[in-house]
Amino acid sequence: MEQETFSLSHDLGELVEKGYKAGEIKIDWRGHCRGGQVRPEAIEHDLHFLFIATEATQTKWKAAIKATKTKTPLPQPLKINHGMLSCYDCGDWMRWEFDGVTLRARSECKFKNGLQPTVFDLNIPSGRLIVANDLRDLFRIAGDYNVNTTLGLVQTTEKYAEAGLAHGFVGNTCPGVYKLSGKNTHFVLGPGPYPGCRRVAGVCTDLWWYSICDGDELDRRLKERKYKNLKKVYQEHNIDVVKCKPGVYRFSQEYHTLDDRDRKQAVYARWEWTAAPQPVKDYEAHYKSLDFTAGQLIRDSISRYPGLYDNDTDNTIESVQRVADHIFLTNGNGLEIHPNGWIGDAPDLDPNAPDMDIPLLEGKFRWYPGGDWCYLAHCAGFAHPFYANRREGSPDLNESFTALAFNICHNIITYGGDTIGQQNKKRATQEANALNRLARRALKALALRYPSRVPDYCKAILKKMRVKYTKPAT
């Protein structure tokens, strides 16, 4: 029975692939990929096997095959389980349905009505417009978006605008900033030149974005971070300063909407004065106030990335372990440690988001090798010097993240761990031994740094390791 079902699904895929190549099968993109602006080869590559994972009765398979051959639409389309293509605008991994004539996306693209500029206001009370490439280090947000999609580009620009920074994607174009001649109120960013405009600044796009902010705001943040010679900082980071009329400027970020970005007079972004300066705002207050538990962030990660962390079973421990591995042991995980002692990627997570109880990790799991470049080493205080000098320094972990770090160390020391190099026995042994050394060293360092937080289940191991930690008197 299963073999026949597989054969029918394969036959339907073959029919659809041939029908698409012949122009007989239509695709209703419902706005995704800008209405189907995709290389035909990319579509043809997936069509043949599109139906393999779909569960349906033999009656439905045969009806779909008949409808395809006779070009007669089914009254109820066949729902396809497997996805095909990811929309480069909204990021949706597209699911489909097929009625024998048309392959139709089951959801609409968020940009089905076209791409619009991203519009936001930025206060420039000093009259000094700072133009640079990458100022993200000084204007912090609590995570990142998928900038491989148009939606991610828009979300990133909007989030940094909330933090006091105009930050827009412009590719590797090294654009210039042009001021409307005779005015300090109208500006354009792009390749230029533009009629009636004068070039007043430029951006070296080592990062394919621009960063624009208020001069006094930048100086304040640099001084807060103990920079003394601001002139030297400006020179080393290719920061330009442009005089403008003090006030609120309305920005229009347009690069992502352009079909012809290489045209000399293409406009990547523009901004103009709209109102008198607003009172200076503490943009950092919201970021500094954020304080999440490990349970909140793990729960959010499992929900946002089910393909990575949710194994479609009731085994919560396995999902939790996968996220914990990514946070503490995966090198280059793209996460940052917040001054309040949590590690994560949560740009839009509500501070009151639901929490979860993190179980004791019992059993043997696969762990990333970690080494001196992971957050477990960093938070324990013995990371590689280059890693340890990261901009966030070494703030204390909050209690929930300290508990998670102890939990990880206990698991690795107690049960060992499967590592990446399992096929090579020598390498597997080396990695397992290195992982055990890392866990033991981290456990000792964490116990010395947080003696009052040592869980009972770690005390026997610490005693065996002869680690003398002192719990502060209460």
Q: From edge to edge, which strands make up the β-sheet containing 186-190?
A: 118-124, 247-253, 269-275, 186-190, 176-180, 197-202
What is the distance between the alpha carbons of residues 426 and 421, in angstroms, rounded to a whole number? 9
Does residue 200 fall inside a structural domain? yes
Do 276 and 306 sit in the same domain of this protein? no
| Domain membership flag for residue 409 | yes
Question: Which pLDDT score is estimated for 113?
Answer: 94
The residue out of 252, 281, 310 marking a domain boundary is 281
pLDDT digits over 123-163, tens only? 999 999 999 999 999 999 999 999 999 999 999 999 999 99
Q: Which amino acid is at 424?
A: N
323 and 408 inside one domain: yes
Helix axes 58-70, 2-21, angle to 10 degrees: 20
Q: How far apart are CA 433 and CA 420, in angstroms?
A: 13
SS3 assignment for the chain: CHHHHHHHHHHHHHHHHHHHHCCCCEEECCCCHHHHCCCHHHHHHHHCCCCCCCCCCHHHHHHHHHHHHHCCCCCCCEEECCCCCECCCCCCECCEEECCCEEEECCCCCCCCCCCCEEEEEEECCCEEEEECCCCCCCCCCCCCCCCCHHHHHHHHHHHHHCCCEEEECCCCCCEEEEECCCCCEEEEECCCCCCEEEEEECCCCCCEEEEEEHHHHHHHHHHCCCCCHHHHHHHCCCEEEECCCEEEEEEECHHHCCCCCCCCCCCEEEEEEECCCCCCCCHHHHHHCCCCHHHHHHHHHHHCHHHHCCCCCCHHHHHHHHHHHHHCCCCCCCEECCCCCEECCCCCCCCCCCCCCCCCCCCEECCCCHHHCHHHHHHCCCCHHHHCCCCCCCCCCHHHHHHHHHHHHHHHHHCEECCCCCCHHHHHHHHHHHHHHHHHHHHHHHHHCHHHCCHHHHHHHHHCCCCCCCCCC
Interatomic CA distance for residues 62 and 9, integer angstroms: 9
Asked if residue 38 and residue 170 are part of one domain, the reply reads no
- Same domain, residue pair 329 and 454: yes
Block residue for tokens 């392959």? 103
In a domain? residue 340: yes
Q: Is residue 470 part of a domain?
A: no
Residue where a domain stops, chosen among 105, 137, 157: 105
In a domain, 112, yes or no: no
What is the residue-averaged pLDDT of the chain? 91
Contact assessment for residue 424 and residue 441, using Cβ atoms and an 8 Å cutoff: no
Q: How many domains does the chain have?
A: 3
pLDDT given at position 1:
45
Domain identity same for 324 and 433: yes
Are 450 and 303 found together in one domain? yes
Whether residue 73 is contained in a domain is answered as yes
Query: Domain for residue 111, yes or no?
Result: no
Final residue in a domain of this structure, among 105, 134, 159: 105
> So what's the pLDDT on residue 304?
87
Q: How many CA atoms lie within 13 A of 56 on its CB side?
A: 27
Residues 315-358 have pLDDT tens digits of: 689 999 999 999 999 988 889 899 999 999 989 999 999 999 99
Same domain, 166 and 232: yes
Two structure tokens written together for 36: 């189907």
Domain with 65, as residue range(s), is 2-105
pLDDT of residue 366: 92
Q: Are residues 153 and 61 in the same domain?
A: no
- Do 307 and 434 sit in the same domain of this protein? yes
Q: Which residues of the chain have pLDDT under 70?
A: 1-2, 311-315, 386-394, 420-423, 471-474
In a domain, 472, yes or no: no
Are 338 and 456 in the same domain? yes
Q: How far apart are the C-alpha atoms of 423 and 430, rounded to whole Å? A: 12
Q: How far, in Å, CA of 389 to CA of 327, rounded?
A: 18
d(CA 270, CA 180): 11
Q: Does 252 lie in the same domain as 379?
A: no
CB atoms within 10 A of CB 268: 25
- Tell me, yes or no, whether 99 and 128 share the same domain: no
* Residue 459: partners with Cβ closer than 8 Å, 6 or more residues away: none
Say if CB 345 and CB 298 are below 8 A apart.
Answer: no
Residue that is written with structure tokens 């949706």 in the block: 92
